[in-house]
Amino acid sequence: MLLKKLTELNGVSGNENAVSNFILSEISKYADEITKDTLGNLIFYKKGKNPSGKTVGVFAHMDEVGLIATSITDDGYIKFSQVGGLDDRILLTQRVSVGDNAIKGIIGIKAVHLQTKDERKRVVKTEDMYIDIGAENKEEALKFVQKGDYISFDSGFVSLYGSRIKAKALDDRVGCAIMMDLIKNTYDEDIYFCFTVQEETGLRGASVLSRRLNPDISFVLESTTASDTAFSPKHLYSTSLGGGPVLTNMDRGAYSDKKLNEFVLGIAKENNIKYQYKLSANGGNDARALQTGASGSRVCSISLPCRYIHSPVCVADMEDFDSMKALIHNVLCKINTFSATEVK
């Protein structure tokens, strides 16, 4: 499965080469023109059958949250910092892969038996953790690990009950997988399928592309927080697994274009595709950089609901995934009928 292969690649923000190389190897033959820019963004241009002249971009980011090695102790342990937004509470005892050679390690702390009463009560901070690769000392560890090595979670793709799955990096290999299928089609409009870098560390790739492409219309394919978990009040749910792909009105970074959202909503209803709206304004994605870059762009985020996002054990529903792919495909089939120049 394409999504399985993508999630099991390591691509911490700033180190997306393994992901971009895989994408290039899989879909280059479907593009009319391919560009890899200085930052690492991949742009696949697909000519349309009857283009109107509007610039349409579809975006998904290749990077994932992770860690980076900052020092090696005399005892051979690796100290690290976070890359992207992580919760300290999900790090402890996780299995990780360090560096290009994927050296295996475990995130640890001082043994519970040696902790003070106060230490046992508080959340352990990243700066108090270390990675144990089994080295006896610093000299031995330095044979395998260097400062600046990227560190990924060592977590495989697993099928759960029914159509549910568990994997790391569903944010945003989901969007990448969908775009890799979409590019096999030819639409009326010219489409730029853009795989961005460094979204998790400041939307940097999309910021560059907003100026390079200056798209009239931008669709951002993402993952977003599903809050239908135990002990969460239903009235506080943001999105729910099984509810279909998610449309966003606004988040902390962008306002989705109202006309474009209505257009997508109409396509969903016309094709009997289940959908839901995000019921919170938290989070953000490449839409912010695209909406405000260059001359501005009409943006629409279409997302997959995902539990435990930004962790090694993201959980999603493949029925939502299939519905999300069907929705954006049908939208692109009719995007030539949407006016990108009409005043809002």
Annotated catalytic sites, by residue? 199
DSSP 3-state assignment of 150? strand
Closest by alpha carbon to 23, among 3, 46, 39? 3
d(CA 336, CA 60): 21
DSSP code of residue 337 = G
d(CA 100, CA 82): 18
d(CA 299, CA 292): 10
In the structure encoding, which two tokens stand for residue 243, read together?
Answer: 């509810």
172: preceding bond cis by omega (within 30 degrees): yes
DSSP E strands, the chain: 33-36, 42-46, 56-61, 66-72, 78-83, 95-98, 103-108, 130-132, 150-153, 158-159, 164-167, 191-196, 217-225, 246-247, 276-277, 298-306, 314-317
d(CA 160, CA 264): 30
d(CA 71, CA 75): 11
Amino acid at 250: M
Are the beta carbons of 6 and 22 closer than 8 angstroms?
Answer: yes
CA pseudo-torsion sign 141, 145, 146, 147: negative
Are the beta carbons of 33 and 192 closer than 8 angstroms?
Answer: no
d(CA 337, CA 42): 27
